[in-house]
Chain A
Amino acid sequence: DGGITQSPKYLFRKEGQNVTLSCEQNLNHDAMYWYRQDPGQGLRLIYYSQIVNDFQKGDIAEGYSVSREKKESFPLTVTSAQKNPTAFYLCASSIYGQDNGYTFGSGTRLTVV
């Protein structure tokens, strides 16, 4: 079955370390997105990519980086510059410009220790 896979489910990181969250989809979707979710703050867009080798900053891109070398993959790196990285991270994909909405992964919970 087609879907979108995020790994790992839980991730622990020491302060000052970079960490990369994986997101892979086999839906042949053009666009991919990264959201951060904190209690009571809904979903906040970090980065998005509409085609391979191109991506744009979302509302809270500082302290994060992404790459889109393959259509199927959109990894997110949380750098040491991110002041408060503990959160739930969601990846999504869509057929750009269509009316099907987004397909979401199951999320990665990152905890800084």
Chain B
Amino acid sequence: AQSVTQLDSQVPVFEEAPVELRCNYSSSVSVYLFWYVQYPNQGLQLLLKYLSGSTLVKGINGFEAEFNKSQTSFHLRKPSVHISDTAEYFCAVIPGPGGGSSNTGKLIFGQGTTLQVKP
């Protein structure tokens, strides 16, 4: 079975500073990886996803993430954050091709990381 751990529940950072939100996963099969963002009282919006190919994935709003298979990580980064980036961020995983019986078709979510950008 797959699992996702977001290592920080809250990350405070000053505006224009860089930020990294950490995500580790556990899986015995290949996976697809996703990052979602949730603004207050809204649904989740897809930031970026890793399916295959280049391990550095670029998403919307200047975010990027790097897939590291050996460390089973998929950390999210932004070189300079804005106040408007204040939100909750969720990492998620789903088995990829060849997942066999592990593939229930359901995304497995981490617990979320609250990014608080301060002026």
CA distance in complex: A90, B46 (Å) = 15
Q: Is A111 an interface residue (CB 8 A)?
A: no
Q: Is B43 an interface residue (CB 8 A)?
A: yes
Decide if the interface of chain B is mainly helix, strand, loop or mixed: loop
Contacts of A101 in B (CB 8 A): 32, 34, 36, 46, 49, 92, 94, 107
Q: Count of chain A residues with Cβ under 8 Å from any Cβ of B?
A: 24
B44-103 with Cβ < 8 A to chain A: 44-46, 49, 51, 90, 92, 94, 96, 103
Q: Shortest CB–CB separation between residue A100 and chain B, in angstroms?
A: 8
Asked whether, in the complex, the Cβ of A104 is within 8 Å of the Cβ of B105, the reply is: no
Asked whether, in the complex, the Cβ of A40 is within 8 Å of the Cβ of B9, the reply is: yes
Contacts of A97 in B (CB 8 A): 103, 105
CA distance in complex: A96, B51 (Å) = 16
**Across the A-B interface, how many residue pairs have beta carbons closer than 8 Å?**
53
Q: What string of 1s and 0s marks CB contacts (under 8 Å) between A6-47 and chain B? A: 100000000000000000000000010100000011110100
Closest to B46 in A: A101
Q: Shortest CB–CB separation between residue A5 and chain B, in angstroms?
A: 11
CA distance in complex: A58, B90 (Å) = 19
- Can you list 21 residue pairs at the A/B interface with Cβ under 8 Å? A42-B90, A42-B109, A42-B112, A43-B90, A48-B106, A90-B43, A90-B44, A92-B43, A97-B105, A101-B32, A101-B34, A101-B36, A101-B92, A102-B44, A104-B43, A104-B45, A105-B43, A106-B43, A107-B41, A107-B43, A109-B41
Interfacial residues, chain B to chain A (CB-CB below 8 A): 9, 32, 34, 36, 41-46, 49, 51, 90, 92, 94, 96, 103, 105-107, 109-112
**Apart from A90-B43, A101-B34: 13 A-B pairs, beta carbons within 8 A:** A33-B106, A40-B111, A42-B111, A43-B109, A48-B106, A92-B43, A97-B103, A99-B51, A99-B94, A101-B36, A101-B46, A101-B49, A106-B42
